[in-house]
Structure 1
Amino acid sequence: MSSELDGKVAVITGGAGGLGAGLVRRFAAEGAKVVFGDVDERGGAALAAEIGPNAVFLRTDVTDIEQIGALVDTAVQRFGGLHVMVNNAGVSGTMHRRFLDDDLADFDTVMRINLRAVMAGTRDAARHMVEHGGGSIINLTSIGGIQAGGGVQTYRASKAAVIQFTKSVAIELAYYEIRVNAIAPGNIRTAIVAKSASAEDRGRVAEFEEKIREQMRQDRPLKREGTVDDVAEAALYFATDRSRYVTGTVLPIDGGTVAGKVIVRKEKT
């Protein structure tokens, strides 16, 4: 590791597992002091113990925006400041076989977690950053917010909203030297796909997930599987001065999926 975040303090939501845990580990390895939150108390406590004194975990339910503010306050009080905010917490919602079957029962929950929490985290971090020379805010969206497709329509709508919010607030906060960018992962193997299975699919989650993964592989120009580390590398770029002239951008980490469909070529014989 290159210690690119020495002297920096970061807050990460949804940091106990999946992409979030990868971000916590990478930021800490690069020298940052990290405050992270999650509803998974056991996983969060274990990760904080693994990292040591430079990581603090708080049980955080981002549907309660006061708890997001508590993460920011803890970073400032415990480590003396806040330089990087990563709004990572997110949920998929239930995948129905047809939109016509969607009762929209999870709409409010998905929007509170995927959108309102991002807005609150951005606001709370920016309130500190405007008084302390700026900083970097990184919002996790998805290629599902860029590229239209069937299934999990509420999720797609929430992630598209994160993109528009990120670009809009980046314009306003640029005056204060606060950069706001978004990362759009796609085809990264985490638990979020399995969690989107509807009740009728729970008994065959492995089969369900493999079908989704196979479709992802067919649609992806680069055949290498994306990893949590690929997303963490992108977040590190936005967190450091390497991106000091970059704001309001959306970076897909998806093996080229949103660039377009794969062209099947037949080799000449």
Structure 2
Amino acid sequence: MSRELKDKVVVVTGGASGLGKGIVERSLAEGAKVVIADVQDDLGAKLAAAAGTDALFHHTDVGDQDQIAALIAAAVERFGGLHVMVNNAGRSSPLKRSLFDEDFSEFDSVMRVNLLGVMAGTRDAARHMAEHGGGSIINISSIGGILAGGGVATYRASKAAVIQFSKAAAIELAHYDIRVNCIAPGNIPTPILRSAATEEDREKLEAFEARIRQTMRDDRPLKREGTADDVAEAVLYFGTDRSRYVTGTVLPVDGGTVAGKVITRKSKS
């Protein structure tokens, strides 16, 4: 590792598992002091304990603005600053058979975590960064916020909103030398798809998930499976001076899915 984040303080929401854990581990390997924010206390505390004094776990429900403010304060108190804020925490909306079956019962919950959490995290991190020489804010969206598709309508809407908010914030915060960028992962196995299943469908989820994953592979130009480390690599780029002239962008980390579907060419007989 090149230790590109040496002497930097990084906060990662949703950092106890999935993509967030990958971002935490890569940030630590690059020399950062990392605050792991999550509601999964056991996983978060275990991850922080394994990292030693370079990591702190802080219980945080990103849907609660007071807890976001407390998270930023804890990072500054423990490590003396904040240089990179990764608003990663997210959840899916329930998977329904069709839009006609959607009752939007979890709309408020999904939007609080996926959108309000990003907005409050961006705001509170920027308040500190504006008075301390700037910094980098990285908001995790999804290719579901770029590409239209059926199912998980609330989730898609929340992730599309994250992209638009991030661009607006980038314009406003550039004056303070704060960069705001978006990463849109896709086709990377994480627990979030499993959380989209309703209780009655959970027994069918394994077959459904396998079918969805295969469809994703078929449509993806790059056939290598994406990993959490691929997303962490993108976070590292945005969190360092390598992207010092980059703000307001959306970077799909999806094996080329957003670029378009693979065209199957028939072989000549």
* TM-score where L is the length of structure 2: 0.98
Distance in 2 of aligned mates of 1:169 and 1:62: 18
Distance in 1 of aligned mates of 2:172 and 2:258: 28
Distance in 1 of aligned mates of 2:136 and 2:229: 20
Report the equivalent of 1:63: 63
Post-superposition CA distance 1:39-73 (Å, at most 9, x none): 10000011001111100001111111111111111
Q: Aligned pair 1:191/2:222, yes or no?
A: no
Post-superposition CA distance 1:189-238 (Å, at most 9, x none): 11111111123211122112111111111111111110000000000000
Q: Structure 1 stretch 202-211 or stretch 144-153: which is displaced more?
A: 202-211
Report the equivalent of 1:175: 175
CA contact (8 A) 1:84 1:136 kept: yes
Count of equivalent residues: 269
Distance in 2 of aligned mates of 1:247 and 1:117: 20
**3-state DSSP class of the match of 1:11?**
strand
Report the equivalent of 1:153: 153
The one-letter amino acid paired with 2:13 is T
CA contact (8 A) 1:36 1:71 kept: no
Distance in 1 of aligned mates of 2:66 and 2:199: 32
Distance in 2 of aligned mates of 1:79 and 1:146: 36
Deviating beyond 2 angstroms after TM superposition, the runs of 4 or more aligned structure 1 residues are 266-269
The one-letter amino acid paired with 1:242 is R
CA contact (8 A) 1:201 1:208 kept: no
**3-state DSSP class of the match of 2:63?**
coil
The Cα RMSD (Å) is 0.8
Distance in 1 of aligned mates of 2:85 and 2:267: 48
1:130-169 to 2 correspondences below 5 Å: 130-169=130-169
1:79-158 to 2 correspondences below 5 Å: 79-158=79-158
Structure 1, unaligned stretches of length 5 or more?
Answer: none
1:11-26 to 2 correspondences below 5 Å: 11-26=11-26
Aligned-pair distance for 1:266?
Answer: 2.2
Post-superposition CA distance 1:65-88 (Å, at most 9, x none): 111111111111111100000000
**3-state DSSP class of the match of 2:214?**
helix
Report the equivalent of 1:238: 238
Report the equivalent of 1:208: 208
Q: Structure 1 stretch 47-56 or stretch 201-210: which is displaced more?
A: 201-210
Report the equivalent of 2:3: 3
Aligned-pair distance for 1:23?
Answer: 0.5
Report the equivalent of 2:49: 49
Structure 2, unaligned stretches of length 5 or more?
Answer: none
**3-state DSSP class of the match of 2:184?**
strand
The one-letter amino acid paired with 2:145 is G
Distance in 2 of aligned mates of 1:263 and 1:70: 50
Distance in 1 of aligned mates of 2:54 and 2:67: 20
Distance in 1 of aligned mates of 2:263 and 2:181: 30
Q: Aligned pair 1:254/2:223, yes or no?
A: no
* TM-score where L is the length of structure 1: 0.98
Distance in 2 of aligned mates of 1:39 and 1:75: 17
**3-state DSSP class of the match of 1:53?**
helix
- Give the fraction of aligned pairs with identical amino acids, expressed as a percent: 68
**3-state DSSP class of the match of 2:53?**
coil
Aligned-pair distance for 1:30?
Answer: 0.2
Q: Aligned pair 1:224/2:224, yes or no?
A: yes
The one-letter amino acid paired with 1:189 is P
The one-letter amino acid paired with 2:115 is L
